[in-house]
Amino acid sequence: MVKIGKTEVAFGMPTYVIAEAGINHVGRFDVAKQLVNVAVRSRCNAIKFQTFKESEVKFPNLTYDEFAKLKAYCDSKNITFLSTPHSLSAIDFLAPIVPAFKIASSHMTCDYFVKRVKMKGKPILVSTGNVNHSSKMANKDEITNFLRIVSTNLVLLFCVSEYPCYNFDVKDFENFMVRYEPHPIGISCHYPDIEFSLQAVQVGACVVEKHITIDDDFDCPDKAVSLNPEKLTRLVKEIRIIDKRNR
């Protein structure tokens, strides 16, 4: 069991749903707040952004000060603020304001980065990439190495690193769950609809992370894999139906 804020994440508990805002705010604080509102209306547990070192960002992003304000806005809306750091500076900035860290597939093989996150003493969620294809980031050996560094207070997210992803096999996910229990297992899904996420929940996923956008017409980096507000609401409703049936 892993506790994110006051919420327990474990097999047998309601699925923890993370709305992945990422960088779909395109550097606009007002859009970031709209994304929070979308996640709140859909009754997600958390909303997650991506935080980069301010001096190194080569695309429109939010400042650290804006992220701090966004965290306060999430608190006022009673939704958990999470973010994926993409620099050592971002790790240090986020540590006081997040209840847990998310490590991206692209960083799970960077030992110094993972150790820096672990030092903060927070629960960790990590996207593993596709364990069957080393070219899609993490393979089995790389996950084993990660587990040597972080062995407790950890959620492993099955993640096929394709944008968009059409190659999800629920049997692969079930095998992943068996291989890495007793860690809570979830899915970070890049499929542009809700089907794969629901399949994962039906067989026991503890966490679902899904990209979101404010609407289908909004031009944002992860548009091709993001759910609009209506689909996000439907995803959460369907997950809760499965939760009641299976748990």
**Burial grade of 245 (CB within 10 A; 0-12, 13-18, 19 or more):** exposed
Q: What is the dihedral of CA 133, 134, 137, 140, to 10 degrees?
A: 90
Map tokens 């209506």 to a residue.
230
Residue pLDDT, tens place only, 66-121: 999 999 999 999 999 999 999 999 999 999 999 999 999 889 989 999 999 999 99
Q: Mean pLDDT throughout 33-49?
A: 98
The CATH number of the domain where 70 resides is what?
3.20.20.70
Q: Which residue has the higher pLDDT, 194 or 167?
A: 194
Count how many domains the chain has.
Answer: 1
Residues 67, 103 contacting (CB under 8 angstroms): no
HSE-up (13 A, CA, CB side) for residue 126: 32
Residues 6+ apart with CB under 8 A from 172: 132, 158
Residue 28 scores a pLDDT above 70: yes
| Banded pLDDT at 134 (limits 50, 70, 90) | very low
Kindly report the average pLDDT of the chain as a whole number: 91
Residue 130 scores a pLDDT above 60: no
Closest CA to 186 of 156, 162, 166, 165: 156
How far apart are the C-alpha atoms of 171 and 176, rounded to whole Å? 8
Cα torsion 119, 106, 196, 148: sign: negative
Lowest mean pLDDT of 66-80, 208-222, 231-245, name the range.
208-222
Q: Which residue has the higher pLDDT, 240 or 247?
A: 240
Residue 221 scores a pLDDT above 90: no
Expressed as residue numbers, the domain containing 174 is: 2-246
HSE-up (13 A, CA, CB side) for residue 127: 25
